[in-house]
């Protein structure tokens, strides 16, 4: 039986692992081809290891095993020109996009010894907010151009609903970008 996304193309940021890889595999299962972008390197204020080129290669393998095509690129969503180039190369190979999934994000709350580093605020705002803006901007012409409609999905966090990001600069930035949050303290 044909999947619900047969013939569609999905653009996914942060696709090397985690939810991004899972989205790539699930959409491919439904028949979509995938343009997969990830930074594949560390951002200094992030305490946990970020994705690697091997992770992105694993995403490619997972999609290809489902008999779908995938275009992978290492690009930073903060870098509009690099993201546009990655996107355009993907569209040249796979065709115009139907689905845009802005999933790339960081949570730079807890770097030991640097919990009060204001750089974490700037990094999380640049990745989780400006990066999402860039993702939609580089893709919107392609998505709107074919006139078939489509979907733009922006991943956020319940931190934006509940204000649970903590009080570090990165935590405040994370919560602010996710939607502001609501202070639940009594
Ligand atoms: N896991 C959770 O509990 C949770 C909760 C709420 C929200 N989220 C959000 O869901 C999304 C996915 O989270 P995840 O748990 O899969 O995290 P993850 O760290 O496993 O995956 C995020 C991916 O984004 C990539 N990335 C980060 N910065 C990038 C940049 N500047 N340019 C391109 N790629 C970049 C990373 O390399 C990584 O592969 C994120 O936006 C995250 O903030 C996750």
For the chain, the domains span 9-178
Rounded distance between C-alpha atoms, residue 16 and residue 96, angstroms: 21
Rounded distance between C-alpha atoms, residue 172 and residue 124, angstroms: 9
* Ligand 1 center from residue 103 Cα (angstroms): 6
pTM over 0.85: yes
The residues that bridge with 151 in the sheet, in sequence order, are 99
Residues 6+ apart with CB under 8 A from 30: 3, 4, 5, 6
CATH number 3.60.15.10 given to 9-178: no
Give the residue, 1 or 38, on which the prediction is more confident: 38
* Token output for 148: 């078939």
pLDDT digits (tens, 9 = 90+) for 81-123: 999 999 999 999 999 999 999 999 999 998 787 778 999 999 9
Rounded distance between C-alpha atoms, residue 129 and residue 135, angstroms: 10
The residues that are catalytic are 174
Rounded distance between C-alpha atoms, residue 121 and residue 170, angstroms: 4
Within 6 Å (CB) of ligand 1, which residues are found?
13-14, 16-20, 38-39, 50-51, 76-78, 103-107, 127, 131, 155, 157
pLDDT digits (tens, 9 = 90+) for 153-185: 999 999 988 888 888 999 999 999 998 776 655
Q: Cβ(60)–Cβ(54) under 8 Å?
A: no
pLDDT at position 164: 83
pLDDT at position 82: 98
Task: Give the helix/strand (H/E) hosting 73.
Answer: strand 70-74
């Amino acid at each position: 039986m044909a999947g619900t996304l047969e013939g569609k193309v999905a653009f996914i940021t942060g696709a090397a692992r985690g939810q991004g890889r899972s989205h790539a595999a699930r959409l491919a299962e439904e028949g979509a081809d995938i343009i997969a972008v990830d930074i594949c390197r560390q951002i200094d204020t992030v305490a946990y290891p970020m994705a690697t080129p091997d992770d992105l290669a694993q995403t490619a393998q997972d999609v290809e095993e489902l008999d779908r095509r995938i275009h992978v690129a290492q690009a930073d969503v903060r870098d509009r020109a690099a993201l546009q180039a990655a996107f355009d190369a993907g569209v040249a190979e796979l065709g115009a996009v139907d689905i845009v999934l802005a999933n790339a994000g960081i949570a730079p709350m807890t770097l030991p010894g640097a919990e009060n580093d204001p750089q974490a605020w700037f990094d999380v705002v640049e990745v989780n907010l400006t990066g999402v803006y860039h993702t939609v901007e580089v893709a919107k012409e392609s998505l709107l151009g074919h006139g078939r409609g489509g979907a733009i999905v922006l991943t956020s966090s319940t931190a934006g609903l509940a204000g649970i990001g903590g009080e570090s600069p990165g935590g405040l930035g994370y919560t602010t970008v996710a939607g502001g949050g609501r202070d639940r303290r009594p």
